[in-house]
Chain A
Amino acid sequence: MDARRMSRAVPRVRQVGFFTPNTPVQQPRPQSAAPSSESPPLSDSPASNSLSPVMIPPPRHLSDNLGGRTAAVPVPGRENSGELPTVGSYNPSESVLWLDSPPRSRIGDEELSEGAESSLGWYRRSSSAKFASSLPSGGFNLSTVKHPESVAAVEAKNPLPGKSEAQKEQASSSKPLKAKTTKAERRALQESQRAAKAASKAEANKSGTAGGAPSSKPMKQPPLKKDGPPVASSIAASERIGVDRSVEKERKKDLPPPRKQFDDESRGGRAKRRSVLNQPEARNRVELFRHLPPHKNGTQLPYLQSKFFELHEKHPAVYKVGLQYLAGDLSGGNARCIAMLQAFQEAIRDYSTPPEKTLTRDLTSKIGGFVSFLIECRPLSMSMGNAIRFLKSRIARLPLTLSESEAKTTLCSDIDRFINEKIVLADKVILRHAAAKIRDGDVLLTYGSSCVVEMILLYAHELGKQFRVVVVDSHPMLEGQKLLRRLVVKGLSCIYTQLNAISYVMHEVTRVFLGASSIFSNGTVYSMVGTASVAMVAHAFRVPVLVCCEAYKFHERVQLDSICFNELGDPDAISKVPGRVDVNFLDNLTDKQKENLELLNLKYDATPSDYISVIVTDYGMIPPTSVPVIVREYRKEYLLI
């Protein structure tokens, strides 16, 4: 109840600009103003103060999210903190929470934005409690990010006066067991941990194995720190400088544009401790894209595999799908979405409500857990986000009178229906529409391997239309070859070329068919990297560009660039050419030389709507400007089916 009261206080308070430190009276409200505080030492002290009245010890990994958010969108008068991010947080690439967002909070957000408040009391409570407790630290963190060099000052200052002692006492009186550390100490601890992590790669591995029990780490170390934070921090600093200067440099450069995906390193650190996978240390990543989650390449696979039996709360089907995402066995928006939904279906079938819990709530949190596991394996695509949102809304809307088995069958058939209606039937409709646009003698160009485009080509071929296909492909995935094989086998006449030759083949092309991972409200097509170039070249040659995309992949977000939200692929994949020993020039670089090398393997890009002639979707062929209409008009319906 206490927590709930706090949640009320939080959003109101956020508008307040100032606060006075250290007075216990102003506990819930002024702290939440902390994000705007300028001086780290100040924001530090209320942080520790505020912890004491809150009953739940602040989960450290959460604290920053909110800070980041509030700082970014200081919109007053918003009612729900959950609404602060522009759209539902189910989508990983847009959510500030990403890995460190535990299933619960994301659920909370989503529920809030859907306005289904009445049935969701406990999510709200849990998330609001986190908000309340996390606010001050968020403020602190923000300030530290702004002034990285001031961190040392904080560290130095903090342990000195009796103030911190008092804080400690205060904290301990309310929570005798935990959370004895002040903010600065934790900060110092974090600093040193990070330094240690940077210091040795082997260390990183170890922390990964410790990742199984993430909470123990922060709890254990503070006493160590308490003795001499300045000393420790100086050690840490010297270590950092001595061993890995680039980390320091990187951090200095990395001044925060506050609303990027994962720009806060400390948040990354927290995510690291929380997550099932141990994350690779981000090295040699391009400056501009450093906020994106690093690719979890094959090295993570053995680790996850060895955990197979230990993560027993993950359903085997979900686990398998996760492994396939991680290993790259399964790619492609539709396939990933279907695989995920089918895994959820299986999980729901095997689900039984634990005693003293209700199905709706427990299952939602379960699904949330699965989702965050999948996100760790690979960031979700927009379409999967939409599907998850659909599933959760179905769970939330289950009538309470249903028995467990009825509820489960309802959900399973819902999932089936989603797959059938939103994907299978949608594809069939798209086939008809698009095939109508293919005439005899056409030369069709496609890029990469989109399953809808493939079906269109095959369908048109079955209809007996005479056309040729140009398959444009690009490294490192070379997905086009898979498509090419299937097309050639079916008897279509094809031309295969690489992306860099596109301007030469574009002359004879009469239509360009492209697939999409998602389409945003402003008509921007978010698709496999390279699509934008293809569309632009086609535009320059005045060749119509048809984007084929199921409507469930539409998204209400507006995005102008592909920098803020994107996905990083395996950097090694572009530095090595498989099977070509003679061109692996990057193989034997020394570590020193490698420091000068940054590899960028982006997975997606955004094509502006100017370059797109028409979008073929299951609601018909529409201009890109009509996407928001579809989103607006049919979103409700599809949440309700």
Chain B
Amino acid sequence: MDFQVVVLAGGNSKNLTPLVSKELPKPLLPVANCPVLNYVLHQLEQSNLKDLIVVVEGEDAALLVGAWISGTFIDRLHVEIAAVPEDIGTAGALRAISHHLTAKDILVVSGDLVSDVPPGALAATHRRHDAAVTTMLCSIPVSGPLESGSSGGKDKAKKLGRYNIIGLDPSKQFLLHIATGAEIEKDARISKRILHAVGQMEMRSDLMDAHMYAFKRSVLQEVLDVKDTFQSLKEDVLPYLVRSQLKSEALLNRTPQGEENSNEKVSSQNNQAFISRILANASTPSFHGIYSENPDGSSSTRKTHKCCVYIASSSSYCVRLNSIQAFMDINRDVTGDADHLLSPNNIIGPSPKLGTKTTVGPNCRLGEGSEMGDKCQVKRSIIGRHCRIGSHVKVVNSVVMNHVTIGDGCIIQGSVICSNVQLQERVELKDCQVGAGFVVTAGSEYKAESLAKKEK
């Protein structure tokens, strides 16, 4: 289909600080015992997209991710791993691999997207409108507060709600305005020209940018080349394209027509014009077409490009793992409502050993080789591989990664416990994040804290 797929897997994310580390870059962060990158790759694989470029920040992370991918998708996907320096942003990452891009259109997917929206839908919309950029919008996830109810969760949800303001045209096909978090505090600046051309704009704040884009390659490369200060796709490139859609500089619209015309005879040029006029008259004009029309009706020199949106239906699941709250939400949803997202290789291995009178509630995942002592309770939680859990342990709404040792009588609520953590006896954790390799001493109690080993 002449699409190239770039997965921006990221590297170490500051938002997820205690969870990710050098040994465990963000793409490999397990969600329901399965690296988060797996969800994206699986989704792409299902859409029959087998040639991918995965961009990872940092050499070490790239090695780890590469090893994992080659182990998991060995003969199913053809993946190129590209390592880019850290902190150059998404646009920078694309700029770095720009010379690899050859196809007509580029599909850029964030590696932390957990979604069941078929990428094909986005691509098809993009093609149908012959757009310069198409972005996927999805409704903002209801980050339902956990039952152990941290008020912090609610605040975050509220913040998220104001994160994006998006302007759409009445047919909900074109993107007219997009403003992200920081800009919203100021007044929103809306292009008069666009507003005049469209006539009506619908402002939405209940949609968020899912960070899945389809770009026309020529446009993307031009923008990246010319605007070399652009750091982020979402905050720089996309708003720029949206802003300039009716006054796009000639560079954006160096369309194939121009090239063709230059080396063809006059007569056939006339015919071409004739044909394109027939086609143009037949198709329903978008506001771009009407705008670019001169008052006298002849098609003019005003260059436009289209910025389209694909709005995922509200029933589909689409969340980005970009905060700890999101991490908890996704873990909960993937085991609960959206369990169809679990790829087949995620099925629980041989059942873990359970002690007597130990209960495991619904919506739980237990990794293989984990052992649990007597009279444990596990509810709405995920427990990784090879964990050893003592007796009388209560785990609720939590994520426990691999190789964790939990002593007797621990109570864990709403917490994330990374790999190789050791919890000694009678530890009580509530809404905590425990970094990898940390040792929690016996009898300690923590509430809403982030515990991590000090960097040596």
* Residues of A that sit less than 8 Å from B by CB: 302, 304-310, 312, 316, 319-320, 323-324, 327-332, 334-336, 338-339, 419-420, 423-424, 427, 449, 451, 454, 482, 486, 489-490
A330 B48 Cβ-Cβ under 8 A: no
Identify which of residues 118-152 in chain B touch chain A, using a CB-to-CB cut-off of 8 Å. 118-121, 123-125, 127-128, 130
Closest to A449 in B: B281
Once the chains are docked, how many angstroms separate the CA of A331 from the CA of B283? 6
A320 B121 Cβ-Cβ under 8 A: no
B128 A489 Cβ-Cβ under 8 A: no
What would be 13 A-B contacts, judged by CB atoms less than 8 Å apart? A305-B121, A306-B118, A308-B119, A308-B121, A308-B123, A308-B127, A330-B283, A332-B278, A419-B271, A424-B274, A451-B278, A482-B285, A489-B296
Closest Cβ of chain B to A29, distance in Å, is 46
Identify which of residues 77-128 in chain B touch chain A, using a CB-to-CB cut-off of 8 Å. 118-121, 123-125, 127-128
For residue B3, CB closer than 8 A to chain A, the reply is yes
A309 B1 Cβ-Cβ under 8 A: yes
Interface size on B, as a range, is 20 to 34
Once the chains are docked, how many angstroms separate the CA of A331 from the CA of B279? 9
Q: Mark B1-38, 1 if CB is under 8 A from A, else 0.
A: 11100000000000000000000000000000000000
Closest Cβ of chain B to A516, distance in Å, is 15
Q: Mark B153-189, 1 if CB is under 8 A from A, else 0.
A: 0000000000000000000000000000000000000
Closest Cβ of chain B to A330, distance in Å, is 5
Across the interface, B2 reaches (CB within 8 A) one of A305, A316, A427, namely A316
Which residues of the other chain, B, contact A304 by a CB distance below 8 angstroms? 124
* Residues of B that sit less than 8 Å from A by CB: 1-3, 47-49, 118-121, 123-125, 127-128, 130, 268, 271, 274-275, 278-279, 281-285, 293, 295-297, 313
Across the interface, B121 reaches (CB within 8 A) one of A306, A324, A339, A420, namely A306
Tell me whether A424 and B47 are in contact in the complex, defined as CB-CB below 8 angstroms, given that A309-B119, A332-B281, A486-B281 are known contacts.
Answer: no
Closest to A332 in B: B282
A338 B118 Cβ-Cβ under 8 A: no
Residue from B128, B293, B313 having most chain A Cβ neighbours under 10 A? B128
Across the interface, A334 reaches (CB within 8 A) one of B118, B128, B278, namely B278
B1 A312 Cβ-Cβ under 8 A: yes
Given A309-B49, A332-B278, 14 new contacts (CB under 8 A): A306-B121, A308-B120, A308-B124, A309-B3, A323-B128, A328-B284, A329-B283, A330-B282, A331-B283, A334-B278, A335-B278, A420-B268, A449-B281, A451-B281
A309 B47 Cβ-Cβ under 8 A: yes
Which residues of the other chain, B, contact A420 by a CB distance below 8 angstroms? 268, 271
Number of A-B contacts (CB under 8 A): 101
B297 A490 Cβ-Cβ under 8 A: yes
Tell me whether A489 and B48 are in contact in the complex, defined as CB-CB below 8 angstroms, given that A338-B275, A338-B279 are known contacts.
Answer: no
Tell me whether A335 and B127 are in contact in the complex, defined as CB-CB below 8 angstroms, given that A312-B48, A424-B275, A490-B297 are known contacts.
Answer: no
A310 B47 Cβ-Cβ under 8 A: yes
What are the 10 A-B residue pairs with the smallest beta carbon separation, nearest first? A308-B120, A335-B282, A305-B124, A332-B282, A489-B297, A306-B118, A308-B124, A305-B121, A309-B47, A309-B120
Across the interface, B279 reaches (CB within 8 A) one of A307, A320, A335, A449, namely A335
Closest to B127 in A: A320
Which residues of the other chain, B, contact A423 by a CB distance below 8 angstroms? 275, 278
Once the chains are docked, how many angstroms separate the CA of A423 from the CA of B123? 32
Which residues of the other chain, B, contact A306 by a CB distance below 8 angstroms? 118, 120-121, 124
Which residues of the other chain, B, contact A419 by a CB distance below 8 angstroms? 271, 275
Closest Cβ of chain B to A7, distance in Å, is 37
Residue from A308, A331, A482, A489 having most chain B Cβ neighbours under 10 A? A308
Across the interface, B48 reaches (CB within 8 A) one of A310, A331, A424, A451, namely A310
Which residues of the other chain, A, contact B49 by a CB distance below 8 angstroms? 309
Residue from B47, B49, B268, B275 having most chain A Cβ neighbours under 10 A? B275
Closest Cβ of chain A to B409, distance in Å, is 49
Closest to A330 in B: B283
Which residues of the other chain, A, contact B3 by a CB distance below 8 angstroms? 309
Once the chains are docked, how many angstroms separate the CA of A482 from the CA of B283? 10
Across the interface, B283 reaches (CB within 8 A) one of A319, A324, A334, A427, namely A324
A320 B128 Cβ-Cβ under 8 A: yes
Closest to A458 in B: B297
Which residues of the other chain, B, contact A308 by a CB distance below 8 angstroms? 1, 47, 118-121, 123-124, 127
B278 A324 Cβ-Cβ under 8 A: no
Closest to A487 in B: B297
Tell me whether A334 and B282 are in contact in the complex, defined as CB-CB below 8 angstroms, given that A424-B271, A489-B295 are known contacts.
Answer: yes
Closest to B2 in A: A316
A324 B297 Cβ-Cβ under 8 A: no
Closest Cβ of chain B to A622, distance in Å, is 23
Closest Cβ of chain A to B266, distance in Å, is 14
Which residues of the other chain, B, contact A316 by a CB distance below 8 angstroms? 1-2, 127
Tell me whether A323 and B118 are in contact in the complex, defined as CB-CB below 8 angstroms, given that A302-B313, A330-B282 are known contacts.
Answer: no
Closest to B285 in A: A482
Once the chains are docked, how many angstroms separate the CA of A490 from the CA of B279? 19
Once the chains are docked, how many angstroms separate the CA of A420 from the CA of B119? 38
Once the chains are docked, how many angstroms separate the CA of A423 from the CA of B275? 9
Once the chains are docked, how many angstroms separate the CA of A419 from the CA of B130? 23
Which residues of the other chain, B, contact A336 by a CB distance below 8 angstroms? 282
Closest Cβ of chain A to B134, distance in Å, is 11
Closest Cβ of chain B to A372, distance in Å, is 19
Once the chains are docked, how many angstroms separate the CA of A328 from the CA of B171? 14
Closest Cβ of chain A to B34, distance in Å, is 23
Closest to B119 in A: A309
Which residues of the other chain, A, contact B128 by a CB distance below 8 angstroms? 320, 323-324, 327, 329
Which residues of the other chain, B, contact A302 by a CB distance below 8 angstroms? 121, 313
Which residues of the other chain, B, contact A489 by a CB distance below 8 angstroms? 293, 295-297
Residue from A304, A309, A489 having most chain B Cβ neighbours under 10 A? A309
A309 B282 Cβ-Cβ under 8 A: no
Once the chains are docked, how many angstroms separate the CA of A529 from the CA of B268? 35
